[in-house]
Structure 1
Amino acid sequence: MSTTEVIQSDKLSVPALSAMVVGSMIGAGVFTLPQRFASQTGVLGGLIAWAIAGSGMLMLAFVFRSLAVRKPKLDNGVYVYAKSGFGIYPGFLSAFGFWASACAGNTFYWVLITSTLKPLIPAFGEGDTIWAVIASSAFVWGFFLLIMRGVKEAAGINVIVTVAKVVPLILFVVVAVFAFKPDVFIGNFTGGYDVGGVSLFDQVRGTMLVTVFVFLGIEGASVYSRFAKRREDVGRATVIGFLSVLALFGTVSILSYGILPKEELATLRQPSVGSVLEVAVGPWGAWFISAGLIISVLGAFLAWSLMSAEVLLAAAKDRDMPAFLARTTSKDVPRNALLLSTIFIQLLLVVVLFANGALDFMLDLTASLALIPFALAAGYAFKIALTKDGYERVSAPTRQRELVVAAIAVIYTLFLIFAAGLQLLLLACLLLAPATLLYGFARREQKGTLFTKPGWAVFILVALGAAIGIIGLAAGFVSI
């Protein structure tokens, strides 16, 4: 019996889908929050940043929920929403952007985990040495073999890991509450904007990409919507998972301001959650968090690998990517899609050897690539609410409410693109432009028109961005 047949007879419930959302979002990112936030802002900026990110991402959660209900026949939402709303080529860009984001995120995980092991294995350095890359590569291919055993088995492992990795974070919160120093917290409140430092707006803007990164996975239940018992369960799981994770992320980052001065937090070694706990309870705290980080990375790597392969598989089945990516094993594992993902992660690990600040670079690249599918999904939700597509039996107040939610989500994703900055946008174009060859091969297989007029416009913009990116790398105003 194939994996699909097993899942068909045992559909995923709300708790199981919620666990996939939580498991997808709680990865390595949460363990870096104290240092990343303190390097950009103080308590006030942090609170504002979480308010913006929480509200914006909640709107995106509601967007995925409404799309799952209004368009129940659309599976693997991140990809097909973009295609259905804006055409084949934008849909391809969404699929490829989501996939590339997942691969970059998985690369970030291995950079962080090897840098975490530096006290035990000094040769790993900050995760950017040849020995770190060799070790990471071995584990990446080991996970490839594990997932090839079957999607159901890997998903089951992820549920177990999700429970296990939350424990160190809960311990951190409890210890931080008891170690909290009000005077230190007050001293960190403004982040320095009141004494001639960086403005509050720029402080908040500087945190946006890391908030995007830690919330990646919010679309997890939507990606696995075809495995849900009921369509309504997808929306419920997305919102439940999101609110749980938002509370945890905000608590971890804000409580840290009550342990150490901002200047010291900003220079902590990653994973900074472990460094903060070490200050509070001693060296065992750092080791405990490091163990939690390793468990977290393993689970998140599984979840992201599954989601990224599912997206490539769906695009290939819809004939928007080459047909070889639609091939699966007898256990319903998307073999070639998974293999392509593993190869791309391997290439990114090689790039790590030459990157300046590999950890931050991979985090920011991951977040910026994810903005494309998020923005297109939000745009599609706005479009169908505006045109009443799928709202034939829905009351006017409900449609208007969902229209407003989608509009806010669109504004939020556009703000994120602005916050990411021109450099990351150009680097994203450098990946998307050559990837269009895959799109071209797929269109040739189908003997279809390469681009529509809007498709040509989008391609020209992507190609122009890539050209400027190449010039920027040569001139030095764009760097890896």
Structure 2
Amino acid sequence: MEDNKLGLFSLIALVIGSMIGGGAFSLPADMANGASAGAIIIGWIITGIGMIALAFVYQNLSMKRPDLNGGIYSYAKAGFGDYIGFNSAWGYWLSALLGNVSYLVMMFGAIGYFCPIFGKGNNLVSVIAASIIIWLIQALILKGIKEAAIVNVITTIAKLVPIFIFIIAAIIVFKVNIFTLDFWGNSTPSLGSIMNQVKSTMLVTLWVFIGIEGAVVVSGRAKNRSDIGKATIIGLVGTLIIYVLITVLSLGIMNRVGISKLDTPSMAYVLESAVGKWGAIVINLGLIISLLGATLGWTLLAAEIPYIAAKDGVFPKIFTKENKHGSPANSLLITAILVEISLVLTLFSSGTYQILYSIASSAILIPYLFSALFGLKVEINDKNGKARGLNIIFASIASIYTAWLVYAAGVKYILLVTILYAIGIIPFVISKKEKGQDSKFGLLSYEKVIAMIFLVVGISAFVMLMTGKLAIG
């Protein structure tokens, strides 16, 4: 279905639109809360090196393994087997759909800036309005992936306008003496060492780059295979520049302590301090558009992963159904229902939602790690590949960086993730039984060992969670 394929511009918009959600608009305060200007710059340099290396891994894999159309899921499966592939798809899918709940709550919290009836985004009025958006997006994607991608391009451009206004205004009012004040945080002992400060910044950047894999996830829908890698690199570099400018320029408008105390979205209040009330209005409007676009982009990604995994036989086959426009109908429907349920939970228990989101947001790091490791494996085995030495370096850096991200998330979140993977054993076994592999419960010997570890640790983590020994927050 060639007319439903995505071009380079649509793929770039999907990458940028997936990465720039609500986090970009909160970067000034989030970064300033634990680090000085000097440490922030170091943190961005390290993050930039790690993420660019990962982007090059995706670019190389998109060209060397054109048979793999599911991106990070397919890479994990090809490199480490069905069960690891399933867990990458399972964790990514739940991360994406629960992330959309977060975007919707944040969106109506931002709308509440103009219309107080929406409160902080998790009252009854907000949930009803957000539910309407969920099903409108569902209807849009059902009409065709290309049509939804066009809307995503429009919202991506629209969200960038207020960000560029912020950057231009910040450059004009930037003051070097404010930026260099306590540059290394020496007068603020509570910040700790430079190393601790850098780590705090990287824990923030850990989340704002989620979405870098947008183009490779929908690689099977790209017009040209070469566009996948190009979109990933262009989208990442563009987003990285935007993030660095937002955080660095903010520190030349207000001092670090002042920024760290700002409410969300802190970018709005930084601009308000520089140009007046209209600055906050522009940024809040940009945040609303950004979150709407991110919700659309992540709905596309959330539906695509289980659809592709089901076609490979590692997700239940109910997810394979397409409609006449080539959209993954059942995958979209099941995803939308789970988003709706999670959204309703925010009305009754924000704590329940936080538990679910904390588990899922950490689980998305696992697919990144296995993508990088698979990239390294491919390069090592490709004895005659062009620029093999350089590609091995990129893949090694990406592997080390993504492993560090998993470590940086902390033991608490690793334990929480095992709960998610323990639950995932059920749909994995169902999918294998559907393929006639029920005699071994769908698991090879090494997969049984991994599944048993997930089950034991997952049950233990759940008990700890219920008894208060494992806390969220």
Q: Shorter chain as normaliser: what TM range?
A: over 0.9
Write the distance in 2 (CA, Å) between the matches of 1:196 and 1:252: 24
The reply on whether 1:424 has 2:413 as its aligned counterpart is: yes
**Amino acid corresponding to residue 350 of structure 2 in structure 1:** A
Write the distance in 1 (CA, Å) between the matches of 2:29 and 2:222: 38
Write the distance in 2 (CA, Å) between the matches of 1:133 and 1:20: 26
Query: What does residue range 79-478 of structure 1 map to in structure 2 within 5 Å?
Result: 79-191=73-185, 195=189, 197-353=191-347, 354-355=349-350, 367-388=361-382, 393-395=384-386, 398-448=387-437, 449=440, 450-478=442-470
The reply on whether 1:23 has 2:22 as its aligned counterpart is: no
Write the distance in 1 (CA, Å) between the matches of 2:96 and 2:187: 35
Query: What does residue range 50-89 of structure 1 map to in structure 2 within 5 Å?
Result: 50-89=44-83
Write the distance in 2 (CA, Å) between the matches of 1:196 and 1:24: 34
How has the CA–CA distance of structure 1 residues 453 and 193 changed in structure 2, closer, same or farther, with 3 Å as cutoff? farther
Secondary structure of residue in 1 paired with 2:364: helix
How has the CA–CA distance of structure 1 residues 228 and 145 changed in structure 2, closer, same or farther, with 3 Å as cutoff? closer
Write the distance in 1 (CA, Å) between the matches of 2:448 and 2:147: 42
Deviation at 1:192, TM superposition (A): 5.2
Write the distance in 2 (CA, Å) between the matches of 1:355 and 1:405: 41
**Is this contact kept in 2: 1:112–1:271, CA < 8 A?**
no
**Is this contact kept in 2: 1:210–1:367, CA < 8 A?**
no
Deviation at 1:358, TM superposition (A): 7.3
Write the distance in 1 (CA, Å) between the matches of 2:327 and 2:417: 28
How has the CA–CA distance of structure 1 residues 400 and 128 changed in structure 2, closer, same or farther, with 3 Å as cutoff? same
Percent of aligned pairs sharing the same letter: 38
**Is this contact kept in 2: 1:147–1:154, CA < 8 A?**
yes
Moved more, 33-42 or 91-100: 33-42
Deviation at 1:362, TM superposition (A): 8.1
Deviation readout 1:355-384 (Å, 9 max, x if unpaired): 35978x888655422211100111111112
**Is this contact kept in 1: 2:104–2:295, CA < 8 A?**
no
Write the distance in 1 (CA, Å) between the matches of 2:128 and 2:469: 31
Unpaired segments of 5 or more residues in structure 1? none
Deviation readout 1:225-273 (Å, 9 max, x if unpaired): 2233332222122111111111001110111112222222122121111
Deviation at 1:460, TM superposition (A): 2.4
Write the distance in 1 (CA, Å) between the matches of 2:427 and 2:419: 15
**Is this contact kept in 2: 1:111–1:358, CA < 8 A?**
no
**Is this contact kept in 1: 2:28–2:250, CA < 8 A?**
yes
Deviation readout 1:257-316 (Å, 9 max, x if unpaired): 122222221221211111111111111111111111111112121111111211111001
Moved more, 220-229 or 276-285: 220-229
**Amino acid corresponding to residue 422 of structure 1 in structure 2:** V
How has the CA–CA distance of structure 1 residues 193 and 386 changed in structure 2, closer, same or farther, with 3 Å as cutoff? farther
TM-score by length of 1: 0.91
Deviation readout 1:393-415 (Å, 9 max, x if unpaired): 524xx222212211111110111
Moved more, 333-342 or 461-470: 461-470
**Is this contact kept in 2: 1:209–1:368, CA < 8 A?**
no
Moved more, 378-387 or 136-145: 136-145
**Is this contact kept in 1: 2:91–2:360, CA < 8 A?**
no
**Is this contact kept in 1: 2:2–2:223, CA < 8 A?**
no
**Is this contact kept in 2: 1:105–1:362, CA < 8 A?**
no
How has the CA–CA distance of structure 1 residues 119 and 28 changed in structure 2, closer, same or farther, with 3 Å as cutoff? closer
Deviation at 1:137, TM superposition (A): 2.6
Write the distance in 1 (CA, Å) between the matches of 2:422 and 2:276: 49
**Is this contact kept in 2: 1:13–1:229, CA < 8 A?**
yes
Deviation readout 1:65-124 (Å, 9 max, x if unpaired): 111111111112111110010010100000111111211221221121122123334353
Deviation at 1:144, TM superposition (A): 1.7
Write the distance in 2 (CA, Å) between the matches of 1:177 and 1:279: 14
Deviation at 1:46, TM superposition (A): 1.2
Secondary structure of residue in 1 paired with 2:171: helix
